[in-house]
Amino acid sequence: MAQQRPVGVITRGTTNPNRLRRCDRWLAGPQAWRLRRFRGGPPVVVDLGYGASPVTAVELHDRLRRVRPDVEVVGVEIDPARVAAARPLERPGLSFRLGGFEVPLEDGARPVLVRAFNVLRQYDESEVAAAWAAAAARLAPGGLLVDGTCDELGRLSTWVAVSGSGPESLSLSWRLRGLERPGVVAERLPKALIHRNVPGERVHALLTELDAAWARSAPQASYGVRQRFIATASALRGSGWPLLDGPSRWRLGELTVAWEAVAPHHGP
């Protein structure tokens, strides 16, 4: 039987070593329970659209096998040349295959995690919901799709967590050293939100309040930038924003908010 045509379009493919470390830290931290609780064989994790270099898939395997030594990471790419170039790096627990948002895996396997970074940014916003649904439909029970965007060096990063029921949260992550204001992360919002950073949209309200809380927390800078960021996040929670994490993540320059608080008025 002929192989199904991959769902999606070829990305520019640019990447850098350690670019996705912030999301990987979240997957190996707050989300590690998904791997630990998986039963029925090794948990499968997909690096979807890893790009011209397979380095992010290699790094993901290195990081997640500290959580679950038998984890199987599969790099999935829509470009056959990129798959062929990556295959020499295959090793136990790490493989590469051709595909897209249909997430083709052998023997009907269902992934616990699918990480798709800097993939949908080249799509139209109207295509996001269908891409999410296609990948989420392939997840194992309790699985998660992570659709994210970051800058070239991974100093600014954002991602949406999508379950089989739909989007659940938005995470924002900054390199705190040298940070002028949190709102600069707007330029790296996921495709579902990047065009919604305008007055009247929820994500615009979040970033506006983040910058205001950052400014009010300036006196905390004398104790270090981490303390200033923790004070900023605490103020945000105090004003009613549904943050799903706490100081242990905030001190890393990361915060996660419930999706309903930032969801577009008309969108995914």
> Is 153 within the bounds of a domain?
yes
In this structure, the answer to whether residues 147 and 185 fall within a common structural domain is no
User: Are residue 69 and residue 138 in the same domain, yes or no?
Assistant: yes
Q: What is the mean pLDDT of residues 11-27?
A: 83
Query: What's the CATH code of the domain at 56?
Result: 3.40.50.150
Q: Is residue 260 part of a domain?
A: no
Length of the chain: 268
What backbone torsions phi and psi does residue 178 show, to the nearest 5 degrees?
85, 5
* Statement: residue 165 has pLDDT above 60: yes
What is the average per-residue pLDDT within 115-125?
92
| Mean pLDDT across 101-108 | 88
Domain that holds residue 113: 1-164
3-state secondary structure of 19: coil
Please check whether residues 53 and 120 belong to one and the same domain: yes
Domain identity same for 50 and 5: yes
3-state secondary structure of 42: coil
Rounded to the nearest 10 degrees, the angle between the axes of helix 225-238 and helix 202-216 is 130
- Does position 87 have pLDDT exceeding 60, yes or no? yes
Task: Clarify whether residues 136 and 236 are in a common domain.
Answer: no
In a shared domain, residues 158 and 188: no
- pLDDT confidence of residue 121: 86
* Alpha carbon distance, N-terminus to C-terminus of the chain: 34
Q: Is residue 14 part of a domain?
A: yes
Same domain, 127 and 205: no
Q: Is pLDDT of 8 > 80?
A: no
Q: Examine the pLDDT at 12 and tell me if it is beyond 80.
A: no
- The predicted model gives 237-254 an average pLDDT of 98
Overall number of domains in the chain: 2
Residue 258 lies in a domain: no
- DSSP string spanning 49-113? T--SSTHHHHHHHHHHTTT-TT-EEEEEES-HHHHHHHGGG-BTTEEEEE--TT---GGG---SE
Kindly state whether residues 16 and 128 are assigned to the same domain. yes
